[in-house]
Chains A and B, each alone.
Chain A
Amino acid sequence: MANSTTAKTKAVEPAQPANMMGVIAPAIGWLIPGAGHLIQRRWIRGLLLLISIGALFVLGLMMQGHIYKANGGDILDILGFIGDLGAGGMYIATLALNGGQGAIAFAIADYGTKFMIVAGLLNFIAVADAYHIAIGKKQ
């Protein structure tokens, strides 16, 4: 029997040339949210990312949220640490200033903790976006 289905050929994307911006933009974007876009002259996007991620993290701190450290031990603490780590420079500065020591004794403090974790996770997405712009995959 003749094979009626045609062989689907996968569209192979052309290899993106490696460039310096592909390394610098994600790195600086991780340290300072939105900076990966700003150095690529995406001013409005960069500023909106900086304001949004920065405000979420700072609000989380002001709501007496808890910040996780690397030596959590508990699996949920480790996941929280990975989320917090995404905030980059803000996370490092908070640790250096001994902030984020809330005990999560009430609901709003728990929300604050989640705000900071989500700020870090959103920054991971922003870093990936900055990388895609740097390699020309996105405008």
Chain B
Amino acid sequence: MTVQLTHFSAAFVFALFASIVFGITHRETSRDMVRYGLYCFVMFLGGALAAGWAMWLVRR
């Protein structure tokens, strides 16, 4: 059985699961875990989107 993810959905899934693990392992309290997890998720996905647009600009 195989899956075919788009580039964006692959980045989304990666950011989601990596952020969950980062949040749990890098902070002490539940509240801080959620906040840090959300921060990592935004940084992962935002970084991918920013890099994508930067490459689009460079290509033009």
Contacts and interface: CB of A to CB of B under 8 A. Distances in A.
Interface SS of chain A: helix, strand, loop or mixed?
A: helix
Interface of B: 1-5, 7, 10, 13-14, 16-18, 20-22, 24-25, 28-29
Contact of B21 (A53, A62, A63): A53
A52 B24 CA distance: 11
Interface stretch (A9-17, A70-78, A89-97, A107-115): A107-115
Interface residues on A, range: 20 to 34
A23 interface: no
Interface in A59-73: 59, 62-64
A59 B18 contact: no
Contact of A48 (B4, B13, B24): B24
B21 A59 contact: no
**Residue with the greatest number of chain B CB neighbours at <10 A, chosen from A53, A56, A129:** A56
Interface of A: 45, 48-49, 52-53, 55-56, 59, 62-64, 107-108, 111, 115, 118, 122, 125-126, 128-129, 138-139
A139 B24 contact: no
Nearest to B3: A62
